[in-house]
Amino acid sequence: MGAVNIKQLAKQLGLSISTVSRALNDTYDISPKTKQKVLEMAERLNYQPNPHASSLRRHKSKTIAVVVPEIANNFFALAINGIQSAAREKGFHVLIYVTNENDKIEDESLNHLRNGRVDGLLISVSNKTIVDDTLYKIQQEGIPVVFFDRVRDDFESAKVTTDDFDSGFKATEHLVKQGCKKIAYLQISKKLSIGMNRMKGYQAALEKYNLPADNGLIIDCVDNKEENYIKIKALLNSKGRPDGIFASVEHLAITSYIVCKDLNLNIPKDVKILSFSNLETASLLNPSLTTITQPAFEIGKQAATILLKALTKKSFTLADTKVVLPSDLIIRDSTARR
Amino acid sequence: MGAVNIKQLAKQLGLSISTVSRALNDTYDISPKTKQKVLEMAERLNYQPNPHASSLRRHKSKTIAVVVPEIANNFFALAINGIQSAAREKGFHVLIYVTNENDKIEDESLNHLRNGRVDGLLISVSNKTIVDDTLYKIQQEGIPVVFFDRVRDDFESAKVTTDDFDSGFKATEHLVKQGCKKIAYLQISKKLSIGMNRMKGYQAALEKYNLPADNGLIIDCVDNKEENYIKIKALLNSKGRPDGIFASVEHLAITSYIVCKDLNLNIPKDVKILSFSNLETASLLNPSLTTITQPAFEIGKQAATILLKALTKKSFTLADTKVVLPSDLIIRDSTARR
């Protein structure tokens, strides 16, 4: 018996061509049982793939999309540089979509990149991401999805993050050791697991050092600088003013510095400040800012490498991949004992 | 006589369908004479356009591309925000390409966005842009091109810039008035007209105040931070050390601050520093940085508005549009008299 084509193979199996194709290409959305069934039948019928068609189908556009919540943020700028360096090595183009922390723009961008525009997707979700089904649709259409930094816990796929809990713990512990007794946590959206993990690390450190957990010291910040300024000013103007601030993202530390300047509060004497940040000017600020610095370039590079593997290797299962990279605590003057 | 279609009209004129179509759509690449000829014949033969086809042809993808040299730079981050705000208003998607100041990546990106992927292009060229013909091809294919900030003087199209000469003059004049006698200029690529215009403003101010023009004080910087660090360190370590530095871009000011720190030079006592910059932390640096601040958001917004007009209005001639927005001198401590 001569070689059969994919249409004949699908007919024999009673499956759609698309399912058979995905099973043969070992994509993540086909069950191991179905894969097994398809592969056995393919062998039995002497199915021979058309290597050219397969390559075309697998990466038609040689393009990957990157969806990020903002770009006026050094973390994302550096992560994108890392993504580009990995993509370039494999000859892939990179298209960037910026959602401005807006779930509607995020959804529009996700819909835009469907229909053959890109072969794969790297995403750091906005802090307003609602559980919609566009990402599922993308995955079902055979576009592999890799999350980096801001992941969705409810969505099964490859994820590259940093050790947010440990970093939150380490940051808070450092503030305690520098003499802080009352540490505030500036939180971005509660919807984001990275924010929650950083906060859990903060809470665990408070518990370890027998400091009371005061919910009034956890400030829910937003995307609006003016609103955050008002919230942080109210915090630092209050009677029970904190003596330490742990900011979960860079722009909250910048706003805290501005508030301290306006209130004539001395950093670190009156209040010590520590922040997650990839700010290039951290060491040049007045005073220099103690940071938890994420390996942003590396996060982007590894996320892209995983995605490109999924696009070019047959035997790679995307959903199994979880990478957690360590962040660094870089001690500077904003947390000095004075 | 009934209505003719575009094919019959083109045949009658002895022109290609594409030329006739572009003439009817009043695109910039067709001469007024040809347009006149086509319009007259269209009227004579009672040509009726198919409004649906015309709309499809004119903005098929409802997508515009933005090509920028870097994103770890607050100017471009803010400009992109401005572009997105204008595009969103008109229901257009924005795709961002980052070239990392690499002419090869720039050319690849330009080729990538051809073939119906986008309807229009906003570009700020890399400092290594060579005079190639990909941009011409894009324009010839009917994709309107609008430059912002980093324009190409040799290429005729709409351009949105700031008053680089005046700003360079104003910056240098400020340093002179603060007591500087020996002002260095940190230059990015000589290939960029914005860098050249800023330098010409610097030179004009030196001339006005009878300060000698010393070519040894014009430092050609590159894209590499380590190399720039070495160049700026050599400058500040030299016998005839400058007492003022005017940086043409943000990252050169940051490197200058780091060099001063390492050499134990006091800013502004030993050397005053002023820079083109949209750095969010300019006022928080030690000392706070005097800047020429460009209206980055507005530049992006206006460039996008012009592009979207070209995509949606028939009677708009793109090449005629030149917009120059003023920048602000924001005086802070890095240029104080001490």
By the CB < 8 Å criterion, does B71 face chain A? Answer: yes
By the CB < 8 Å criterion, does A117 face chain B? Answer: yes
* Residue among B226, B185, B188, B189 nearest B206 (CA): B185
Of residues B47 and B206, more confidence is placed in B206
User: How confident is the model at residue A35, as a pLDDT?
Assistant: 83
Which CATH number goes with the domain that contains A40?
A: 1.10.260.40
Q: Confirm if A54 and A13 have CB atoms less than 8 A apart.
A: no
User: Which tens digits make up the pLDDT trace of B134-146?
Assistant: 888 898 888 999 9
State whether B94 and A98 contact (CB < 8 Å): yes
**What is the token pair recorded at B239?**
């016998």
**What is the token pair recorded at B163?**
């008053």
- In A, minimum Cα distance to B109 occurs at A93
Minimal CA separation from A33 to chain B, in Å: 39
Per-residue pLDDT band for A61 (boundaries 50, 70, 90) equals confident
* Residue among A206, A202, A259 nearest A231 (CA): A259
Name B272's Cβ contacts closer than 8 Å, sequence gap at least 6: B175, B178, B179, B180, B243, B244, B245, B290, B334, B335, B336
* Residue among A7, A9, A1 nearest A42 (CA): A9
Partner-chain residue, chosen from A81, A94, A281, that has the shortest CB–CB distance to B279 = A281
Partner-chain residue, chosen from A72, A261, A283, that has the shortest CB–CB distance to B74 = A72
Compute CA A111 distance to the chain's CA centroid, rounded to the nearest angstrom: 20
Judge residue B263's burial from the number of C-beta atoms within 10 Å of its C-beta, 0-12 exposed, 13-18 middle, 19 or more buried.
Answer: middle
Least confident of A186-195, A294-303, B41-50: B41-50
Which of A102, A286, A297 would best serve as a mutation to test chain B binding (most B beta carbons within 10 A)? A286
Which of A95, A108, A252, A279 would best serve as a mutation to test chain B binding (most B beta carbons within 10 A)? A95
Residue A14, in any domain of the structure: yes
- In A, minimum Cα distance to B88 occurs at A105
Give whole-number Cα distances, B273 to A139, B174, B184, B218, B232, in Å.
Answer: 51, 11, 10, 15, 12
* Residue among A300, A278, A295, A221 nearest A255 (CA): A221
State whether A93 and B81 contact (CB < 8 Å): no
* Pair B195, B290 in one domain: yes
Residue B151, in any domain of the structure: yes
Q: Could you tell me the end-to-end alpha-carbon distance of chain B, in angstroms, rounded to an integer? A: 86
User: How confident is the model at residue B130, as a pLDDT?
Assistant: 64
DSSP, residue by residue, B273-296: EEEE---TTGGGBSSPPEEEE--H
Per-residue pLDDT band for A319 (boundaries 50, 70, 90) equals confident
CA angle centred on A103, ends B294 and A69, rounded to 5°: 45
Q: List for chain A the helix, strand, coil content (%; round to 5).
A: 45, 15, 40
Which CATH number goes with the domain that contains B264?
A: 3.40.50.2300
User: How confident is the model at residue B28, as a pLDDT?
Assistant: 66
User: How confident is the model at residue B7, as a pLDDT?
Assistant: 81
State whether B93 and A81 contact (CB < 8 Å): no
State whether A280 and B108 contact (CB < 8 Å): no
By the CB < 8 Å criterion, does A306 face chain B? Answer: no
By the CB < 8 Å criterion, does A80 face chain B? Answer: yes
User: How confident is the model at residue B53, as a pLDDT?
Assistant: 41
* Residue among B27, B38, B42, B88 nearest B63 (CA): B88
* Pair B302, B274 in one domain: no
What residue type is assigned to position B21 of the chain?
Answer: S
* Pair B90, B36 in one domain: no
Task: Compute how many other C-beta atoms are within 10 angstroms of the C-beta atom of residue B206.
Answer: 21
* Pair B193, B283 in one domain: yes
Which of B113, B273, B286 would best serve as a mutation to test chain A binding (most A beta carbons within 10 A)? B286
Per-residue pLDDT band for A50 (boundaries 50, 70, 90) equals low
User: Which tens digits make up the pLDDT trace of A228-243?
Assistant: 999 999 999 999 899 9
Q: 């917009």: which residue's tokens?
A: B323
* Pair B171, B259 in one domain: yes
Dmax over Cα atoms in chain A, in whole Å?
87
Q: What is the mean pLDDT of residues B234-252?
A: 95
Minimal CA separation from B290 to chain A, in Å: 14
CA–CA gap between residue B240 and residue A18 (Å, rounded): 73
Residues on chain A touching B258 (C-beta within 8 angstroms): 283-284
CA–CA gap between residue B277 and residue A282 (Å, rounded): 16
By the CB < 8 Å criterion, does A4 face chain B? Answer: no
Q: What is the mean pLDDT of residues A47-54?
A: 52
Minimal CA separation from B56 to chain A, in Å: 17
User: Which tens digits make up the pLDDT trace of A169-190?
Assistant: 999 999 999 999 999 999 987 7
CA–CA gap between residue A85 and residue B262 (Å, rounded): 31
Residue A1, in any domain of the structure: no
* Pair B287, B173 in one domain: yes
Task: Compute how many other C-beta atoms are within 10 angstroms of the C-beta atom of residue A190.
Answer: 12
* Pair A101, A190 in one domain: no
State whether B71 and A74 contact (CB < 8 Å): no
State whether A286 and B287 contact (CB < 8 Å): yes
Q: 């016998």: which residue's tokens?
A: B239
Residue B1, in any domain of the structure: no
Residue B306, in any domain of the structure: yes
* Residue among B308, B330, B314 nearest B86 (CA): B308
Among the candidates A19, A41, A56, a domain finishes at: A56
CA–CA gap between residue B210 and residue B78 (Å, rounded): 37
By the CB < 8 Å criterion, does A257 face chain B? Answer: yes
Minimal CA separation from B49 to chain A, in Å: 29
What residue type is assigned to position B179 of the chain?
Answer: G
Q: 């009934």: which residue's tokens?
A: B2
pLDDT of residue A56 exceeding 50, the answer is no
ipTM over 0.90: no
* Pair B52, B145 in one domain: no
Partner-chain residue, chosen from B95, B257, B288, that has the shortest CB–CB distance to A95 = B95
Q: Which residues pair with A329 in a beta bridge?
A: A292
CA–CA gap between residue A219 and residue A228 (Å, rounded): 9
Name B33's Cβ contacts closer than 8 Å, sequence gap at least 6: none
**Could you list the residue range(s) of the whole structural domain that residue B49 is in?**
6-56
By the CB < 8 Å criterion, does B229 face chain A? Answer: no
Residue A116, in any domain of the structure: yes
Partner-chain residue, chosen from A98, A117, A287, that has the shortest CB–CB distance to B96 = A98
* Pair B184, B260 in one domain: yes
Minimal CA separation from A67 to chain B, in Å: 10
By the CB < 8 Å criterion, does B288 face chain A? Answer: yes
Give whole-number Cα distances, A111 to A134, A169, B67, in Å.
Answer: 7, 38, 22
Name A20's Cβ contacts closer than 8 Å, sequence gap at least 6: A6, A9, A10, A13, A38
Residues on chain A touching B84 (C-beta within 8 angstroms): 98, 100, 105
CA–CA gap between residue B21 and residue B53 (Å, rounded): 11
State whether B284 and A287 contact (CB < 8 Å): no
Which of A70, A280, A285 would best serve as a mutation to test chain B binding (most B beta carbons within 10 A)? A280
Looking at the structure of chain A, the number of domains it has is 3
Residues on chain B touching A81 (C-beta within 8 angstroms): 72, 98, 100
User: Which tens digits make up the pLDDT trace of B41-89?
Assistant: 887 787 766 543 443 445 578 999 999 999 888 899 999 999 999 999 9
DSSP, residue by residue, B52-118: HHHHHHHSSS-EEEEEES-SSSHHHHHHHHHHHHHHHHTT-EEEEEE-TT-HHHHHHHHHHTTTTT-
By the CB < 8 Å criterion, does B263 face chain A? Answer: no
* Pair A175, A247 in one domain: yes
Residue A127, in any domain of the structure: yes
User: Which tens digits make up the pLDDT trace of B1-40?
Assistant: 456 778 888 888 888 887 887 787 766 677 888 888 888 8
User: How confident is the model at residue A24, as a pLDDT?
Assistant: 78
Residues on chain A touching B94 (C-beta within 8 angstroms): 97-98
The mean pLDDT value of chain A amounts to 89
**What is the token pair recorded at A19?**
């399912």
**What is the token pair recorded at A59?**
């990466």
**What is the token pair recorded at B169?**
């003059």
* Pair B202, B264 in one domain: yes
By the CB < 8 Å criterion, does A78 face chain B? Answer: yes
State whether A94 and B95 contact (CB < 8 Å): no
Among the candidates B56, B72, B93, a domain finishes at: B56
* Angle, helices A6-13/A17-24, rounded to nearest 10 degrees: 110
By the CB < 8 Å criterion, does A88 face chain B? Answer: yes
CA–CA gap between residue B243 and residue B6 (Å, rounded): 68
DSSP-derived 3-state class of residue B36: helix
User: How confident is the model at residue B51, as a pLDDT?
Assistant: 41
By the CB < 8 Å criterion, does B258 face chain A? Answer: yes
DSSP-derived 3-state class of residue A119: coil
Residue B219, in any domain of the structure: yes
User: Which tens digits make up the pLDDT trace of A110-140?
Assistant: 999 887 789 999 999 988 766 667 888 898 8
Exposure string for A194-230, b = 16+ CB within 10 A, e = fewer: bbbbbbebbbbbbeeeebeeeeebebebebeeeebee
CA–CA gap between residue B232 and residue B225 (Å, rounded): 10
Minimal CA separation from B121 to chain A, in Å: 14
Which of B68, B98, B228 would best serve as a mutation to test chain A binding (most A beta carbons within 10 A)? B98
* Pair A111, A139 in one domain: yes
